[in-house]
Amino acid sequence: MPEDLGELIAADDVLLFVNAAITATGQREFHSGAAEQRLSLDFLHEYLRVNYRELYAATLALGINDHNAALIVRELLVHAADADAGQRRTEGRLIAARLAVLPPQRVYRLFRQLRSAGVNNRRTRAIMRDWLAARPEPAFDAVKYRAGLKAALRHLHRVPADPEVGDFLFAPHRRPRYTAPLLDAWRRAHHEQGALYELPFTVAEGFAAKHRIPRAAFLTRIADRLTPRERLRLQHSARELGVAEALPAQDERLSLSLLATFALADSPDRRADVTERLDAAARRAAGERCGSWGRVAAVLDDSYSSSGSAEKRRRPLATALAAHHLLARLAGEYTAFWTSGRTDAEPLRPYGATPLGLRILDALETRPDRLVIVSDGWDNAPPGLAAEVLRIHRTRLDPERRTSVVHLNPVYDAADFDVRRLAPSVPTVGLRDAEDLPMLVELAQFAEGRTGLTELRAHLDRQVAAFLTAAGPR
């Protein structure tokens, strides 16, 4: 096999895995079940780890989702014997940096998986020890993630530096009271209703049920303890209970994609408020790039398949909605074409077939500098029209590539081990969070099949360097 062909195949393998690691979560999708998803994803992880271990580890620096980041860390630690000393050093830094930004509950779940698998080598213990030592509030973790923290400490054969935390975890009735306010609040909450309002919401919720406190009263008094995400999740039920004023939004700390997910579940009478919140989040996500992309046309999929599945309810549609608002901020001049034919994004509901080819024709008539397609790739009205339109446009109408075209797909196709593509002439990359859209458009240049492994490796090296620099010294 010629060297250049081998490099192209290797680059394609890595990009295929990146697409999967961005979109797949092992959960059911509209067109495939959870078992298919997990089987397909497990194969890709093993394939890339065995054949391209350095690049496999480097993907921790990309915008992959938390599920796959945890899988990569687990695979690297389980198969540590396959790496040389230099690889282990780099992997250790990448793992530490990625664990620092993962949700704590996912990290504790990973530690339990490592314990169940009997992974107890020195490097694994050091990574777990350093992560636990870096946690800002040991008492908070002891209360909110008690089972996970206990399992991690048992695996390390260590006790917490704070004796009170150790007693709380392993001998909770040894002390009549605790000097740490959070630990003592947990003790008092068993018999004192007022104490539960000093605890994290997820812990206090259980005590509220035990004391049979009315939901409205509980939400009103616990409001100061809620995280921004908890506030957003509870706003709908708070409005139904008539206590919405007790839970003011804190959107400045929430991602655009998360806001879009909850916006789709909001009531139509709040349309103006939803639009304003999404626009503000898009403005924050665009930052200094606002207005820098020239004329942009977007083809956005709001067909019935964008309703997702029971596990990922309306996730593809939420991704399209978030991308719509972000592209509007990135563009100097912006036009959106929804597959349903609607001209306004709110209120947005999954509906109808997927006439991607027709909408792409409409978008190309505006002669944009960039055409961005956000869709699961199931072009069915009529089938195959999108691929033919894009082929003719690229080969006959725009061979000079005056219009940049990229397809962003939020849905993993388990059968093909990749996200579904529209046309060979158009790069397709996976998309989960709209905030990653500018980075993924840059990555799309490697998905056109004309760039080899050398260029892709250099791009990954830059991403790794930036990721580790942002994480700080280790």
Predicted local distance difference test score (pLDDT) of residue 452: 64
| pTM for this predicted structure | 0.89
Exposure class string for 346-363: b at 16+ Cβ within 10 A, else e: bbbebbebbbbbbbbbeb
Asked if pLDDT for residue 64 goes beyond 70, the answer is yes
What is the three-class DSSP state of 419? strand
What is the three-class DSSP state of 39? helix
Asked if pLDDT for residue 237 goes beyond 90, the answer is no
Phi-psi category of residue 430: left, alpha or beta, with phi > 0 → left and psi -120 to 50 → alpha: beta
Predicted local distance difference test score (pLDDT) of residue 9: 76
Cα–Cα distance, 363 to 368 (Å, whole number) = 8
Predicted local distance difference test score (pLDDT) of residue 247: 66
pLDDT digits (tens, 9 = 90+) for 158-216: 888 899 999 999 988 888 999 999 999 999 999 999 999 999 999 999 999 999 999 99
User: Euclidean distance between the first and final Cα of the chain, in Å?
Assistant: 41
Average pLDDT, the chain: 89
Which pair of tokens denotes residue 314? 């309306």
Domain boundaries, the chain: 271-450
Residue found by looking up tokens 């250049």 in the block: 4
Average pLDDT over every residue of 356-383: 94
Asked if pLDDT for residue 468 goes beyond 80, the answer is yes
User: In the CATH hierarchy, which fold is given to the domain comprising 271-450?
Assistant: Rossmann fold (3.40.50)
Give the chain's count of helices (H) and strands (E).
Answer: 21, 7
Res. 451 pLDDT band, cuts 50 70 90: low
pLDDT digits (tens, 9 = 90+) for 257-292: 988 888 887 766 566 677 888 999 999 999 999 999
Which pair of tokens denotes residue 66? 């938390």
Residue type, 346: E
Q: Which of the 8 DSSP states describes residue 51?
A: H
Lowest average pLDDT, out of 48-57, 92-101, 220-229, 317-326, goes to 220-229
Lowest average pLDDT, out of 127-136, 191-200, 227-236, goes to 227-236
Average pLDDT over every residue of 106-129: 93
User: With pLDDT > 90 as the criterion, what percentage of the chain qualifies?
Assistant: 62
Residue found by looking up tokens 């388990």 in the block: 414
Predicted local distance difference test score (pLDDT) of residue 1: 39
Lowest average pLDDT, out of 28-42, 136-150, 322-336, goes to 28-42
Beta strands in 247-332 (DSSP E): 295-300
Q: What value does the CA radius of gyration of the chain take, rounded to a whole number of Å?
A: 24
Q: Could you tell me where the DSSP H helices lie in 225-310?
A: 228-241, 256-263, 271-286
- Name the burial class of residue 284, with classes exposed (0-12), middle (13-18) and buried (19+) by CB atoms within 10 angstroms of its CB: middle
Which pair of tokens denotes residue 245? 């004023």
Asked if pLDDT for residue 58 goes beyond 90, the answer is yes
Res. 5 pLDDT band, cuts 50 70 90: low
Best CA proximity match to 371, nearest among 395, 332, 336, 343: 336
Res. 442 pLDDT band, cuts 50 70 90: confident
